[in-house]
Amino acid sequence: MKNLPIDFPSSQACQCVAALCKSTLTLLVKDNKLIEMIITNLDAILNSLADFYSNRTYDGSLLIEELARAASSPSALSNIPVDPMDAINQSSLTPILHQLSIVHSHISLLISLCKITQNEVRSILISFWGAETGIRVLKNLNKLCLTLIWESSILLSLCSSDTNMMDQQFNKNDLLQLFPMINDLTNTISPLQNVSTQLNDLTTNEMTRTFDIDEIMSMDTSDFTKLKLKVSLNIQQRIKTIKPLLCVSSKLGRALSELYNLLVKQCSTSQLRHARRFNQPPTPYVPTAAAKLVASTLTEVLRDGFLFHLPANINLTESQIEKFRLTFFVCTIG
């Protein structure tokens, strides 16, 4: 799976593989090797991603940092730096990104298996999730889910055209490596900002200030058009580069949310349909010990999401911190 593209989990090929595994498990109910192999492989992949989601300081995007490090390193055939789009497609240069895609493939497969309505299959799934390996995988997925909310928030803000890259608080050096045009834009914009500042002083201050009219007269009107074109191209290049990272993190987060919803239903309800007489109350469902353990583990992602807070030494305003907290609240509830 290392050579598969990062958009494989959303492809028709991944859905076909999931459908095949679902049919195999439906026919061979007593054969538990398929479920055991999926959870065991997922456990190994999550262990290799431990640095990505464990003990995060929330001081930037690790996906951006990884991409900038890959893009700044010279290629093996020449000393020319690697193009960011080429680095995204190579698992050796962006291993975290590709490992997240592999996790997404496993989650898509588990979602298909959890949709099986046979009670024997449902009980087997819950028993595997309630085992030691299954609970460890769920706890690591909870940590990964919160990290993906943070990564998606940072990446989404970078894809916005309203974001000022020079005022960006996170991954500023990484962004300068990925988008060197930012420095050129800063040098181009600076004389325009001086004029804008002096115009603003004239209209807002009562005291008369010296205004350098020669600076405006010497400025060609085509400078504004060139500047607008440069900004537009820079935004397009930024979105083109960051969009694959955002797609991987956000789609994996949505897949985890769907898996959690299915697991909660499996832990709290039964598919059995008992024939009962008129006005006879339904038989209450009593969850097994494994189902209770799985349900209690799933509640940890809600608790951690509600208790999320940024470090005190972070360079953000109070309103920006509240926006991040609100994002975590909405994503964990959804």
pLDDT by residue (tens digit) across 63-109? Answer: 999 999 988 877 655 667 788 888 899 888 999 999 999 999 999 99
Query: Does 318 map to a domain?
Result: yes
The whole-number pLDDT of residue 136 equals 95
Query: Does 261 map to a domain?
Result: yes
Of 26-35, 143-152, 183-192, give the lowest mean pLDDT range. 183-192
Query: Does 126 map to a domain?
Result: yes
- Ranges of H-type helices in the chain: 12-27, 33-48, 50-53, 62-72, 84-88, 95-114, 119-129, 132-158, 172-178, 181-204, 213-217, 222-268, 289-306, 318-333
Count how many domains the chain has: 1
Query: Does 115 map to a domain?
Result: yes
Query: Does 229 map to a domain?
Result: no
Contact 260, 301 (CB under 8 A): yes
Contact 266, 291 (CB under 8 A): yes
Residue 109's φ and ψ, nearest 5 degrees, are: -65, -40
Domain span at 63? 8-178+245-271+284-333
Query: Does 230 map to a domain?
Result: no
- Using 50, 70 and 90 to split pLDDT, how confident is the model at 310? confident
| Whole-angstrom distance, CA of residue 90 vs CA of residue 79 | 18
Of 163-177, 180-194, 267-281, give the lowest mean pLDDT range. 180-194
The whole-number pLDDT of residue 167 equals 53
Mean local confidence (pLDDT), 239-243: 88
DSSP bridge pairs for 52: none
Q: What is the CB-side half-sphere exposure of residue 308 using CA atoms within 13 A?
A: 28
- pTM of the entire predicted model: 0.80
Which residues neighbour 55 within 8 Å (Cβ) at sequence distance 6 or greater?
Answer: none
- Using 50, 70 and 90 to split pLDDT, how confident is the model at 117? confident
| Whole-angstrom distance, CA of residue 84 vs CA of residue 89 | 9
Of 37-46, 201-210, 237-246, 304-313, give the lowest mean pLDDT range. 201-210
Query: Does 221 map to a domain?
Result: no
In terms of pLDDT, which residue wins out, 230 or 51? 51
Residue written as tokens 């009980």?
Answer: 123
Map residue 200 onto helix, strand or coil: helix
| Whole-angstrom distance, CA of residue 81 vs CA of residue 104 | 30
